[in-house]
Amino acid sequence: MTHDPNCLFCKISQGLIPSAKVYEDDEICAFKDIHPAAPVHFLMIPKKHIPMLEAAEASDAPLLGRMMELAPRLAKEQGCRPGKEGGFRVMVNNGVDGGQEVYHLHLHVMGGPRPWKK
């Protein structure tokens, strides 16, 4: 597995920087966002250092698929209501124009009661 020794999210996934983890396995780490934009807001990252979505390769597809499959379960566990009446948002920022601030691929999973929406 590749890591970037200067990457904030690599350090979090390795346990070098504390975080409020909500999930972890051999390939994926999920933790609460330190500046939540919704009642439920956590980040999912691959432990493999992939700088941005457009840098992902075909060989990363199974890992990215696992992340997408895992997102609904974690969203529900963190308090999002399931089904049509509930829901959550999954967002990936890519590059400067896409609003990416940390160059380690990450999914924002956000949800919870709608008063947070403006």
Known catalytic membership, residue 106: yes
Give the CATH H-level superfamily of domain 8-116.
Answer: HIT-like (3.30.428.10)
* Domain residue ranges of the chain, discontinuous segments joined by +: 8-116
pLDDT in tens, 33-75: 999 999 999 999 999 999 999 999 999 999 999 999 999 999 9
Catalytic residue among 41, 49, 104, 106: 106
Q: Which residues contact 31 (CB under 8 A, 6 or more apart)?
A: 12, 19, 20, 21, 22, 42, 43
pLDDT in tens, 66-92: 999 999 999 999 999 988 889 999 999
Structure tokens at 36: 């939540």
